[in-house]
Amino acid sequence: MPAAQTRTGEVLEALNWRRAIKKFKPDAKLDAQELDYLKEALRLAPSSFGFQAWRFLFVEDPALRKALREKAWGQAQVEDASALVVLCREDELGAESVTRLVRATAERTNAPLKSLEGFESMLSGFVAKLSKEDAAAYMNEQVHIALGFLLFAAAQAGIDACPMGGFEKEGFDEILGLKEKGLRSAVLCALGRRAEDDAYAARPKVRFALDEVVETI
C-alpha cells in the first residue's frame, strides 16, 4: 500500500478507537511530553481571521477539580482524568483583539504595520458589526474548532479524551475567576487513559451511514 494510504488507514483506525470516555484511570498520568503535544495541537488550531480569541486552562489543582465537578453534573471525568482542559473564549472581541492580531501578523510575517492597514480596517469593520451575543457565539464556535483539534490529536497519539459541554458555565467562571481574566468558559475536555471497565468504550460506535451524512451534489 502506498505510504499515504497506510497513513489514512491509521488515522481512521485511531478515529474509530476514540470514544468519549466516561471512566478514566485516576492513577494513569499523561507525561510532560504528551501534555506539551496536546498544548501545541491546541495552539495550532485555526480560527476565523486567525483571531485566536481563546485561552486553554489546564486545571491541575485537585481542590479546584473537586469544586468544578460539582458544577459539571457530578461527572467523574472532571476529577479522575489525568488532565482537565477548560477551553475558554475571550469575554469581548473588540479593538484590542484587532490590534493584537495585526501586531502579531506584522511580527511573524516581517510585514510593516503600514502594509496591514487594509487588513486592520477590515477586521475592525467586522468586529464593530457584531453584537455582544453574536461575538460570544462566534468565539464559542472557534473554541470548538480547537476542541476538535485536541480530540483529533489525542486520538492520533493514543490518548483518551472526553469532550464535555455538560457543565454550568457561570459556576466554572466563578470558581476559576475567569471574568477577572477577561475570559468565559466554553467547553471542557478531560484527557488521560480509559479504565478497562469503561462500559461506554466497549460499545459499538453509533454513527449514521455515510450517505445519510454526506451528500455530493
Ligand X SMILES: Cc1cc2nc3c(=O)[nH]c(=O)nc-3n(C[C@H](O)[C@H](O)[C@H](O)COP(=O)(O)O)c2cc1C
Least gap, CB of 162 to ligand X (angstroms): 5
The C-alpha atoms of residue 135 and residue 87 are separated, in whole angstroms, by 16
Nearer to ligand X, 35 or 76 (CB): 76
Give start and end residues of each alpha helix (H) in the chain: 3-17, 32-43, 62-70, 77-80, 95-109, 117-129, 132-156, 169-175, 199-202, 210-213
Nearer to ligand X, 146 or 176 (CB): 146
Least gap, CB of 102 to ligand X (angstroms): 31
Nearer to ligand X, 31 or 212 (CB): 212
The C-alpha atoms of residue 83 and residue 32 are separated, in whole angstroms, by 11
Least gap, CB of 4 to ligand X (angstroms): 25
User: Which residue's CB atom is positioned nearest to ligand X?
Assistant: 166
Nearer to ligand X, 101 or 143 (CB): 143
Nearer to ligand X, 168 or 174 (CB): 168
Least gap, CB of 94 to ligand X (angstroms): 26
b/e 22-37 (16+ beta carbons within 10 angstroms → b) = bbbbeeeebeeebbeb
The grid cell for 79 is 476529577
Amino acid, res. 77: Q
Least gap, CB of 135 to ligand X (angstroms): 20
List residues binding ligand X (CB under 6 A).
Answer: 19-20, 22, 75, 162-166, 187, 205
* Number of C-beta neighbours around residue 14 at 10 A: 15
